[in-house]
């Protein structure tokens, strides 16, 4: 295997929940990420899938270097994100672009699209000033928008257009990696499909590495060649999209697949039992309380993510048999 572009080595992220009330309840630790191991190869398109609260956004914040890991290491290439010097940080900011969940909210409403798109180009000094207009036009062309939009303000664009501008802004810095958090949620299905097509084609054509967060296995399978399934702060299964969809080996992945009837439906597991609180994780496997095939050992031993078959890893003591 060539050198991964990102490596997460047993990454943990805890948040301190401060006690409230006059009696000052003791503070407690919430483990948003608990031993995440992940490698992203150059050119990968990887979906991070999981229910609300599983730690997807936290994971992306750590990979963007916006927050430090409480334990473990996040490597970009060979370098620890926590130890980048100022120059390496600047390069990282150019090479790794982020598309925010709320595309409109991430743009200054008083700036014209022109200036919003030119900002990363100027910041990273990617061309001389007089070449900027041509660059902006070609960026808009790449995301399928007319050059006439450059003079508009964000509030004058539709939901689909603003998503395309967000993609154009991400592309403006000529990134190696694009990370996106649910960047099609809230769009109607046909617009969603167009934006997904665009993102998929751009990544394929230019070999950009994509890490895409979604609740929706349909979106994940459409856009990405690999899937990592998160449950309560841990990756429980990861591998090639086809393998995950056709022969899920973790009972949680299987339950998610059984519960996903439509392309545009959010993930809803038809699982019994409660999701444990990330403040009080149970001993043993974190999925044991909801697992249809739980055995006594599962309540004692916390299973590590282990290689199973080609490119697939599963954290389960008794992986689902392939029929
Ligand atoms: N700054 C914070 N302080 C305390 N707890 C936090 C903080 N950020 C996240 N959490 C908690 O960490 C866990 C993971 O949150 P995260 O936002 O990463 O989930 P998510 O998978 O992105 O969910 P969603 O699909 O709803 O966006 C949750 O239990 C959340 O409440
Ligand atoms: Mg989130």
**Is residue 169 one of the residues assigned to a domain?**
yes
Find the mean pLDDT for residues 79-107. Answer: 92
**Is residue 166 one of the residues assigned to a domain?**
yes
Find the mean pLDDT for residues 311-315. Answer: 94
**Torsion over CA: 301, 303, 304, 306 (sign):** positive
**pLDDT digit string, tens, across residues 217-231:** 888 888 999 999 999
**pLDDT of 264:** 44
Cα–Cα distance list, 235 to 62, 73, 106, 171, 287 (Å): 15, 16, 28, 29, 12
Determine which helix (DSSP H) or strand (DSSP E) holds 115, and give its type and residue range.
Answer: helix 113-123
Query: pTM of this prediction?
Result: 0.91
**pLDDT digit string, tens, across residues 2-28:** 789 999 999 999 998 876 666 666 678
CA of 183 to the centre of ligand 1 (A): 17
How many Cα atoms within 13 Å fall on the side-chain side of residue 142? 22
Which stretch of 13-27, 53-67, 124-138, 287-301 has the lowest confidence by average pLDDT?
13-27
Residues 6+ apart with CB under 8 A from 110: 153
**Is residue 198 one of the residues assigned to a domain?**
yes
What mean pLDDT is reported for the chain? 89
**Is residue 187 one of the residues assigned to a domain?**
yes
Q: Report the nearest atom of ligand 1 relative to the CA of 50.
A: 21
Phi, psi for residue 235 in degrees, rounded to 5: -80, 120
**Is residue 266 one of the residues assigned to a domain?**
no
CB of 33 within 6 A of ligand 1: the answer is no
**pLDDT of 23:** 62
**Is residue 219 one of the residues assigned to a domain?**
yes
Taking CA atoms only, the protein residue closest to ligand 1 atom 2 is: 15
**pLDDT digit string, tens, across residues 273-305:** 777 888 888 889 999 999 989 999 999 999 999
**pLDDT digit string, tens, across residues 162-216:** 999 999 999 999 999 999 987 666 777 778 888 888 898 998 889 999 999 988 8
Phi, psi for residue 190 in degrees, rounded to 5: -70, -40
- CA dist 215 and 268 (Å) reads 9
Kindly report the CATH number assigned to the domain that includes residue 94. Answer: 3.40.50.300
**Is residue 306 one of the residues assigned to a domain?**
no
Nearest to 92 by CA among 184, 176, 2: 176
CB of 57 within 6 A of ligand 1: the answer is yes
**Is residue 312 one of the residues assigned to a domain?**
no
- CA dist 34 and 11 (Å) reads 7
**pLDDT of 263:** 43
- How many domains does the chain divide into? 1
Give yes or no for a contact between 127 and 141, defined as CB atoms under 8 angstroms apart.
no
Give yes or no for a contact between 171 and 142, defined as CB atoms under 8 angstroms apart.
yes
Q: Between the CA atoms of 267, 98, 105 and 65, what dihedral angle is there, to the nearest 10 degrees?
A: 100
**Ligand 2 (ion): which residues have CB within 5 A?**
57
């Amino acid at each position: 295997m060539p050198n991964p572009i990102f490596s997460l080595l047993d990454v943990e992220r805890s948040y301190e929940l401060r006690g409230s009330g006059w009696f000052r309840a003791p503070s407690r630790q919430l483990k948003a990420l608990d031993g995440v191991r992940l490698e992203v190869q150059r050119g990968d398109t990887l979906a991070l899938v999981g229910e609300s609260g599983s730690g997807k956004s936290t994971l992306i914040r750590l990979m963007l270097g916006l927050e430090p890991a409480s334990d473990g290491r996040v490597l970009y290439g060979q370098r620890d994100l926590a130890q980048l010097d100022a120059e390496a940080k600047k390069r990282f900011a150019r090479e790794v672009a982020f598309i925010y969940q709320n595309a409109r909210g991430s743009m200054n409403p008083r700036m014209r699209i022109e200036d919003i798109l030119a900002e990363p180009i100027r910041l990273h000094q990617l061309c001389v000033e007089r070449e900027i207009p041509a660059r902006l036009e070609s960026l808009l062309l790449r995301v399928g928008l007319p050059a006439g939009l450059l003079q508009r303000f964000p509030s004058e664009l539709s939901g689909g257009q603003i998503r395309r501008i967000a993609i154009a802004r991400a592309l403006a810095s000529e990134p190696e990696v694009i990370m996106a958090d649910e960047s099609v949620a809230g769009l109607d299905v046909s617009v969603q499909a167009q934006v997904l097509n665009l993102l998929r084609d751009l990544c394929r054509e230019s070999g950009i590495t994509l890490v895409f967060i979604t609740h929706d296995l349909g979106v994940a399978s459409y856009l990405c060649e690999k899937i990592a399934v998160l449950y309560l702060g841990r990756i429980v299964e990861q591998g090639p999209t086809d393998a995950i969809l056709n022969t899920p080996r973790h009972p949680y992945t299987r339950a998610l697949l059984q519960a996903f009837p439509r392309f545009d439906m959010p993930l809803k597991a038809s699982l019994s039992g409660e999701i444990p609180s990330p403040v009080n994780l149970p001993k043993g496997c974190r999925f044991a309380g909801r697992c249809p095939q739980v055995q006594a050992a599962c309540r004692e031993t916390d299973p590590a993510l282990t290689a199973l078959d080609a490119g697939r890893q599963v954290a389960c003591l008794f992986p689902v048999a392939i029929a």
